[in-house]
């Protein structure tokens, strides 16, 4: 009994010492999170940022060419997609994935794994791959000290995830085409019993931006102007009218809108209305 009690007390003492001995210090590979809207999807990256600290990286055992690499340090990067997106033209379902890469001179393989909870590539299994694509790798003119993942090359429906470290850079495209989703919402909301000016405005703008059924866009914009005569509503209808050749309406809206924009000292809309007038030859 005394022996058991002594053993229990000894374990408690060791545990207490272990807890007290832990000291919080900054990580040499601090964590980072970056997010980006792509179409109507949200894309987030959680990763660690190691530094070179005088080391050679690519083509060495730390990041060997032709071998699966953890892509950074500590836990592998996690990519989260709020909706189904396309990676280099291939569909990937909404969810969180782990990122592995296979570096090589001139080309990298991008791997999204269904198992995001991995530290290093020690337990990597090809059977867990959700997606594999090959992308071009570029040589950097200047060495990058800190491992970096960021969003670049934006469009309204796409962005590139850029991986950059030491003398190498690789990019892959994430895209989300929300057109079908937006069109379904427009149909639902513009045929409701009550439709707000904001709904008509958004629908008209989308039709204008995507160059579809501009007569319908004009009719919606006219409903907006009927409800609210502001310099931005005049511009909405005016730009659509100009595009479909209704310059009498476009000029009238632009002149009214320009007067109101000048009174509000809104430089952007002064330019907008002036352009509509110019487009219609005034």
Alpha-carbon distance of 225 to 237, in angstroms, equals 8
Which residue is listed with tokens 């032709």? 66
Q: Which residues contact 250 (CB under 8 A, 6 or more apart)?
A: 237, 238, 239, 241, 242, 276, 279, 280
- Is residue 21 very low, low, confident or very high in pLDDT (cuts 50, 70, 90)? low
% of the chain beyond a pLDDT of 90: 88
Q: Tell me the per-residue pLDDT of 69-111, one tens digit each, with 9 for 90 and over.
A: 999 999 999 999 999 999 999 999 999 999 999 999 999 999 9
Model confidence at 12, pLDDT cuts 50, 70, 90, reads very low
Q: What angle do CA 127, 129, 132 make, to 5 degrees?
A: 130
Q: How much is the pLDDT for 26?
A: 85
Residue 245: which region, alpha, beta or left (left: phi > 0; alpha: psi -120 to 50)?
left
> Which pTM was predicted?
0.81
Model confidence pLDDT, tens digit, residues 209-253: 999 999 999 999 999 999 999 999 999 999 999 999 999 999 999
Domains and CATH numbers, the chain: 27-175 (no CATH), 179-279 (1.25.40.10)
Cα–Cα distance measured from residue 124 to residue 100, given in angstroms and rounded to the nearest whole number: 9
Torsion of CA 137, 139, 144, 150, to 10 degrees: -30
**Helix intervals (H) in the chain:** 2-21, 179-190, 197-209, 214-227, 231-243, 247-263, 267-279
Query: Is pLDDT of 256 > 90?
Result: yes
23 confidence band (pLDDT: 50, 70, 90): confident
Is the pLDDT confidence value at 18 over 80?
no
Confidence class for position 185, pLDDT limits 50, 70, 90: very high
């Amino acid at each position: 009994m005394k022996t058991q009690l002594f053993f229990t007390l000894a374990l408690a003492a060791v545990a207490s010492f272990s807890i007290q001995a832990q000291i919080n210090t900054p990580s040499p590979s601090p964590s980072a999170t970056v997010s980006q809207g792509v179409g109507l999807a949200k894309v987030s990256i959680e990763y660690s940022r190691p530094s070179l600290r005088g080391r050679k990286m690519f083509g060495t055992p730390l990041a060997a060419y032709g071998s699966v690499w953890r892509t950074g340090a500590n836990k592998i990067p996690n990519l989260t997609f709020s909706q189904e997106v396309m990676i280099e033209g291939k569909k990937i379902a909404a969810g969180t994935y782990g990122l592995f890469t296979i570096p090589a001179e001139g080309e990298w393989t991008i791997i999204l794994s269904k198992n995001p909870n991995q530290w290093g590539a020690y337990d990597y299994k090809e059977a867990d791959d959700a997606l594999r694509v090959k992308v071009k790798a570029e040589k950097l003119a200047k060495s990058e000290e800190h491992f970096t993942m960021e969003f670049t090359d934006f469009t309204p429906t796409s962005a590139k995830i850029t991986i950059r470290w030491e003398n190498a850079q690789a990019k892959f495209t994430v895209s989300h085409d929300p057109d079908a989703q937006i069109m379904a919402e427009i149909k639902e909301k513009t045929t409701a019993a009550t439709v707000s000016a904001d709904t008509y405005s958004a629908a008209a703008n989308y039709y204008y931006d995507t160059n579809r059924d501009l007569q319908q866009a004009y009719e919606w914009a006219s409903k907006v102007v009927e409800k609210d005569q502001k310099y931005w509503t005049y511009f909405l209808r005016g730009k659509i009218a100009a595009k479909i050749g209704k310059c009498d309406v476009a000029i009238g809206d632009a002149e009214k809108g320009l007067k109101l924009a000048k009174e509000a000292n809104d430089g952007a809309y002064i330019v907008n209305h002036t352009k509509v007038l110019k487009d219609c030859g005034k």
